[in-house]
Chains A and B, each alone.
Chain A
Amino acid sequence: MNSDDRIALLQGTLDLLILKTLVMGPQHGQGIARSIQRQSEEVFFVDHGSLYLALQRLEERLWISAEWGVSENNRRARFYKLTKKGREHLVQKTSEWERLTRAMGLVLGGNAGIKEA
């Protein structure tokens, strides 16, 4: 997989990353962006436009809910929270992902090499 694919993949899976971030608790948009960036060790760059579109989409699917609140440094911000439905979705997808990565790890880390067909 090269860098081109990574971007395409990441944008398709931003939803999952957002849900994962919200597991820690309600967070505002800026916080989510920072968190994803930090947690992925700066590998993922979050395009803010896409972020808000994704938030909007998740809200419509009822995976997250939002309300206005106050940030730790006293600024008014819109806080997003994982819903029950969102948590279920995340659990399901995470376990799929873990099975995949574990298997990938076994293959890639094991003695079998990937050979070009």
Chain B
Amino acid sequence: MIFKRKRSTQDFDEEMRAHLALEADALKDEGVSDDEARRRARVAFGSVQIAHERFYLKSRVEWLDNLARDLKHAVRQLARHPGFTVTATLTLALGIGANTAIFTVIQSVLLAPLPYANPGRLALLETHWTDSGHTAPRMTGPDAVDVRTQAKDLEAVSLFDSGNEGVELRDHSTYTEVTFADENFARVFNLRPIAGRLFGDAESHHAALVSERFARDNFGGAQAALGQTMHIESEAVEIVGVVGNGFAFPGKTDVWEAFPLKPDSTSRTAFNYRAVALLAAGTSFKQAQAELDGLSQRLQTLYATDNRAKIIEAVPLGDALTGSARPTLMLLWGTVAIILLIACVNVTHLELVRAMERQRETAIAKALGASRWQVTRPVIMESLLLAAIGAAAGVLLAVPAVQVLVAMAPKELPRATEIHLNGWVLAFTVGIAALTALAASIFPALRAVKVEAADALKHDASRGMTRRGASTLRDSLVVAEVAATFVLALGAGLLMRSMAALMARDMGYQTRQLLVVDADAPAHTDADYVRVIQQFNGLFAELRAMPGVERAAGVMGLPTGAYGSNGYYNVRGGLPVDAAHQPYATFTVASPGYFGTMSIPFKHGRDFSNADTNQGQFVAIISESLARQSFGDSDPVGKQIQCGLDSVKWMTVIGVVGDVRQDSPADKPGPTLYMPMAQHPFYANQIHIVLRTRVAPLSIMNAVRARIVRTNPLIAMKFTTMDAMVNDSITEQRFRAVLISLFAGAGLLLAMLGVYGTTAYSVAQRTVEIGIRMAFGADRSVILSAILRHAAVLACIGIAVGLALSLLLVRLVASMLVDVRPIDPLSMGAAAAMLLLTAIAASSAPAWKATHVNPIETLRAE
């Protein structure tokens, strides 16, 4: 035949009719009546119409037919092997569920476009220094104004800054995230209020927008909030508009207060602001950056000292917001990928066992002329079906897992409120499920192809002769699984040790039995600030007298707290200063008794006293690091120090105290400059009150609250404990360590299942062989140790491979380690020992069973 002529449908129809006629004739010959014969012929044939259609749609129908048949077959097979099905499904559910959960977070945080208008055109402006390579996500006021007025590629530029502020309403105060933003803020984000209007530049410091939530919580509704007056940082501010709950930036801002387009700060070295910009339509970030580079160069020439090596950069807002979360999320993604790999290996092994059980069936099918595709199809089908069930179960697992993840996630996790399961995530799940199904069915399918018709007889599995190749393959699966688990266990070990190191670190103060009150007293005028100090001083004395309270003090700049300042300082009579490396310190403003309350050790000199007033000599206390950094071995007490916190007055050093870790246990103990509250009243109204208690700190919370309200009902307050604050400061590290440990535990469980399954299977296959050996007098312990040794050898090879892999991968987590070297013999030893023990434990049950084979019975069964 040179060309293939397709048969016409008519031709086929005719054949069908002929068939029916022939069948009717045959039946008539058998003595069936005419009508009955025709009827039966039709019944036997099924509907002619259906046959017709089946012919017409031949290829498609055949495909569908086969699919339906294979699917039915697969369902039956799975139902008939519940042990296999349940194990494989749970394994896949775990692997796919973990991946779905982590991908949900990654998709929502890193991949989904920002929930603002024109998300692709929004930029955060940052300052970068080409000489030091340092980048700050902030801008100075004058630089930002230059960018706003000169950069053509930026349609709008807005300066803003935000922080937690006590907002005074008519009858109460509330702690709220407040953002100070200029009128361009609304242009950048294309903001449309749901009630009222936007504010203009002329209303700076007097008008504000509030969130729908804030309006509802404090005024009962959006309309009711309009026209109301609040006091923020001593300014009376009128609510002119309400923003819908769909908009949140930055963070969880509830109040946006108008801020002048011409910023208060005129220094090109004070990075007091953050800036967002909207790129002009059709402009790429590359183009915009080219323009900003030119502009930065001009500023460098104009302001040679202040703008030395300074480049202003436009970073896509999404990257700027989520960049910090990326390493942790990527680490988690890598971890769950390994889990999926382990799950895949386990399922491969399970399916391999199934394929071997099916060997005879496959051989017969082959003898009857089944093609390669026909014998591999059921294998793949079964795998696909398993993966589909596993994926469904995985998604069901992922839903609560995501909720737990979000609840556990550090506060700093950007876009946490946007995390939810969606179509993209489901598509990802379907994708990995299909991939898993294919990956897990490759080896069993290849095996089915290799089966020879005669194999069914030569290698009767029950006869105690196993194929060399089959056991090698299964052994290598165990090795792969152990290697992958080792990598996870080692990662978990390193992060857990880092976590333990953080928890055990000396903070430089005692965290236990410390109640912390975040207190914000309203102050509008200079007189207010002075009065607040007096109120606080009186309050501290009253609090000290309360039952259960040992000591009490106030501080602006509590370690791990929200407030604080830092900057350069100068000394007189100290060590020479290198102009390029000016001394830098944390600035803390404290009341008398602060060091005693915190148990920060006094090294030298005296504490602040009530005699250190605004009118007297300005004094300061320094930490040991600062003393060492600026005064070396000479006695700093009596020396002069100056800083730019709020005044240029020289202060006399009156004491030296121990260093503290300022931001978190991960921080190094560093130089701190302490100044008395009484001499820095503008930093003394928004403070932390710390109370060293004899009782459980939170048990006296209500009594303390009552005392503070009695002193000044307008003080906004929040209660916590120092332990909780320190704990919160390392949530990210904890989040990582706990999750990786959980995943490592899951990996270990899967590896255990894998080793158990392999050993149990090979022992079952060798029952006869073992029986014979025992009949010939082999010792029970010899057989037991042979099986256990085999498992141990596999585990050791796996550990060696895992070790090699982890040496390649360890640099990925190196930056997350604290007080632990990336190549840590202890973690490695622990991971190795754990895996070895797991492997031996997992194989001991089947091994035990094997040695209790009754030789006579085994042989009789033959």
In the assembled complex, which residues on chain B have CB atoms less than 8 Å from the CB atom of A100?
Answer: 363-364, 367, 453-454, 456-457
Closest chain B CB from A92 CB (angstroms): 9
In the complex, chain A residues whose CB is within 8 Å of the CB of B823: none
B406 CB to closest chain A CB, in angstroms?
Answer: 47
Residue of A nearest to B464 (CB): A117
Whether B765 contacts A117 by the Cβ 8 Å rule is yes
- A28 to B20 CA separation, bound complex (whole angstroms): 12
Q: Residue on B with the closest CB to A100? A: B367
Q: Could you say which residues of chain B place their CB within 8 Å of the CB of A113?
A: 861-862
Report B34-56 residues with CB < 8 Å from chain A CB.
44-46, 50-51, 54-55
Instruction: Tell me if B576 counts as interface (CB < 8 A to partner A).
Output: no
B45 touches A75 (CB 8 A): no
Contact, CB under 8 Å: A28 / B18: yes
Interface residue? A40 (CB, 8 A): no
Task: Tell me if B457 and A107 are in contact (CB < 8 A).
Answer: yes
Can you pick out 14 interface pairs between chain A and chain B where the beta carbons lie within 8 Å of each other?
Answer: A9-B365, A12-B368, A13-B370, A15-B369, A48-B46, A50-B65, A53-B65, A56-B55, A77-B15, A78-B18, A93-B367, A114-B460, A117-B462, A117-B765
B361 close to chain A: CB less than 8 A: yes
B350-370 residues at the A interface, CB under 8 angstroms: 357, 361, 363-365, 367-370
Residue B19, interface by CB 8 Å:
yes
Q: Residue A104 at the B interface, CB < 8 A?
A: yes
Q: B368–A97 contact, CB under 8 A? A: yes
Contacts of A76 in B (CB 8 A): 14, 18
Instruction: Give the nearest-CB partner of B368 in chain A.
Output: A13
Which of A12, A31, A48, A62 makes the CB contact (< 8 A) with B365?
Answer: A12
Which residues of chain B are within 8 angstroms of A1 by Cβ–Cβ distance? 361, 364
- Measuring CB to CB, which residues of chain B are less than 8 angstroms from any residue of chain A? 1, 4, 11-12, 14-16, 18-19, 21-23, 25-26, 44-46, 50-51, 54-55, 58, 61-62, 65, 69, 73, 76, 357, 361, 363-365, 367-370, 374, 453-454, 456-457, 460-462, 764-765, 767, 861-862
Q: For residue B47, which residue of chain A has the nearest CB? A: A49
Contact A48–B367 (Cβ < 8 Å): no
The 8 residue pairs across chains A and B that have the minimum distance between CB atoms: A13-B368, A30-B22, A77-B18, A100-B367, A30-B19, A16-B369, A117-B462, A78-B15
User: A73 in the interface, Cβ–Cβ < 8 Å?
Assistant: yes
The minimal Cβ–Cβ distance linking A6 to chain B, given in whole angstroms, is: 11
Q: Which of A9, A34, A50, A52 has the most CB of B within 10 A?
A: A52
Q: CA A75 – CA B765 in complex, angstroms?
A: 60
Choice from B51, B69, B365 contacting A13 with Cβ under 8 Å: B365
Given contacts A28-B18, A114-B460, 13 further A-B contacts (CB under 8 A): A13-B365, A30-B19, A47-B46, A49-B50, A49-B51, A53-B62, A75-B18, A75-B25, A78-B18, A100-B454, A115-B862, A116-B462, A117-B764
Partner of B54, one of A53, A103, A114, A117: A53
Whether A24 sits at the interface, judged by CB under 8 Å, is no
Q: B19 near A48 (CB under 8 angstroms)?
A: yes
Residues of A within 8 Å of B370, CB to CB, are 12-13
Asked if A71 and B369 sit within 8 Å, CB to CB, the answer is no
Name the interface residues of A81-114: CB closer than 8 Å to any CB of B: 89, 93, 96-97, 99-100, 103-104, 107, 112-114
Give the total of A residues in contact with B, Cβ under 8 Å.
46
Q: How far is the CA of A49 from the CA of B454 in the complex (A)?
A: 32
- Cα–Cα distance between A30 and B15 once the two chains are bound (Å): 10
**A53 CA / B7 CA spacing, docked (Å):** 13
With both chains docked as a complex, state the minimum distance between the C-beta of B785 and any C-beta of chain A, in angstroms: 24
Beta-carbon contact of B862 and A9 below 8 Å:
no
- A28 x B365 contact (CB < 8 A): no
- Chain A interface mostly: helix
Q: Between A and B, how many residue pairs show CB distances below 8 Å?
A: 120
Chain A min CB distance to B91 (Å): 22
* Residues of the A chain whose Cβ atoms lie less than 8 Å from the Cβ of B456: 100
B862 touches A8 (CB 8 A): no
| B361 proximity list for chain A (CB < 8 A) | 1, 5, 9
Given contacts A11-B69, A12-B368, A103-B457, contact A48 B45 (CB under 8 A): yes
| Contact A96–B453 (Cβ < 8 Å) | yes
CB pair A75 B364 closer than 8 Å: no
- Give chain A residues whose Cβ lies under 8 Å from the Cβ of B365: 9, 12-13
B54 to chain A minimum Cβ distance, whole angstroms, is: 5
- Kindly list chain B residues whose C-beta atoms are within 8 Å of the C-beta of A93: 367-369
Chain B residues within an 8 Å CB radius of A13: 365, 368-370
Q: Separation in Å of the A70 CB from the closest CB of chain B?
A: 10
Give every chain B residue within 8 A of A16 (Cβ-Cβ). 368-369
Contact residues in B for A15 (Cβ distance below 8 Å): 369
A117 touches B461 (CB 8 A): yes
| Cross-interface CB contact of A115 among B46, B374, B861, cutoff 8 Å | B861
**Residues in B whose Cβ lies below 8 Å from that of A62:** 1
A12 touches B374 (CB 8 A): yes
**Contact partners of B22 in chain A: CB under 8 A:** 28, 30-31, 71, 73, 75, 77
Q: A15-B369, A75-B21 are in contact. Are A9 and B54 (CB under 8 A)?
A: no
Give complex CA distance A73, B65 in Å.
34
Residue contact B454 to A99, C-beta cutoff 8 Å: yes
Distance in angstroms from A110 CB to nearest chain B CB is 12
Is the C-beta of A29 less than 8 angstroms from some C-beta in chain B?
yes
| Most chain B CB atoms below 10 A, which of A16, A49, A107 | A49
- List, in ascending order, chain B residues with CB within 8 A of A116's CB: 462
Tell yes or no: A41 within 8 A of B by CB: no
Are A112 and B369 in contact, with the CB atoms below 8 A? no
| A29 touching B368, Cβ below 8 Å | no
Closest B residue, CB atoms, query A46: B44
Q: Which residues of A (37-69) have their CB < 8 Å from a CB of B?
A: 47-50, 52-53, 56-57, 60, 62
A4 touches B76 (CB 8 A): yes
Nearest-Cβ distance from residue B358 to partner chain A, whole angstroms: 10
Q: A53-B58, A117-B765 are in contact. Are A8 and B44 (CB under 8 A)?
A: no
The reply to whether A112 and B862 contact each other, CB–CB distance below 8 Å, is yes
Give Cα A76–Cα B46 distance, bound, in whole angstroms. Answer: 21
Q: How far is the CA of A116 from the CA of B764 in the complex (A)?
A: 10
Report the bound CA distance from A98 to B61 in whole Å: 33
Q: How distant is B592 from chain A, measured CB to nearest CB, in Å?
A: 83
Please, which residues of chain B bring their CB within 8 A of the CB of A71?
18, 22
A73 neighbours in B (Cβ, 8 Å): 22, 25
Whether A30 and B46, one on each chain, are in contact in the complex, defined by CB atoms closer than 8 angstroms, is no
What distance in Å separates the Cβ of B26 from its nearest Cβ neighbour in chain A?
Answer: 7
Residues of A within 8 A of B454 (CB): 99-100, 103
Cα of A9 to Cα of B69 in the assembled complex, Å:
11
**CB distance A9 to B368 under 8 Å?**
yes
B461 / chain A contacts, CB cutoff of 8 Å:
117
**Which B residues touch A89, using CB under 8 A?**
369
User: How far is B21's CA from A12's CA once the two chains are assembled, in angstroms?
Assistant: 28
Residues of the B chain whose Cβ atoms lie less than 8 Å from the Cβ of A117: 357, 461-462, 764-765, 767
A22 to chain B, nearest CB (A): 14
Cβ–Cβ < 8 Å partners of A115 in chain B: 462, 861-862
Of the candidates B51, B364, B454, B765, the one having the most CB atoms from chain A within 10 angstroms of its own CB is B364
Cβ contacts under 8 Å, A5 to chain B: 361
A80 and B583 CA atoms in complex are apart in Å by 100
Closest chain B CB from A90 CB (angstroms): 9
By a CB distance below 8 angstroms, the chain B residues around A57 are 62
Residues of chain A within 8 A (CB-CB) of B46 are 47-49
Interchain CA distance A79-B862 in the complex, whole Å: 52
B12 partner residues in chain A, CB cutoff 8 A:
52
Measured between C-beta atoms, what is the minimum distance from B272 to chain A in Å? 77
Q: Which of chain B's residues has its CB closest to A56's CB?
A: B58
The interface residues of chain A lying within 8 Å CB-to-CB of B73 are: 4, 8
Q: Which residues of A contact B1 (CB under 8 A)?
A: 62
Task: Please tell me if the beta carbons of B18 and A96 are within 8 angstroms of each other in the complex.
Answer: no
Residues of A within 8 A of B44 (CB): 48
**B26 near A34 (CB under 8 angstroms)?**
yes
Give, as a whole number of angstroms, the nearest-CB distance from B53 to chain A: 10
B515 → A minimal CB distance (Å): 68
B28 to A, closest residue via Cβ: A73
Q: Which of A52, A78, A103 contacts B51 (CB 8 A)?
A: A52
Q: Which residues of A contact B65 (CB under 8 A)?
A: 50, 53
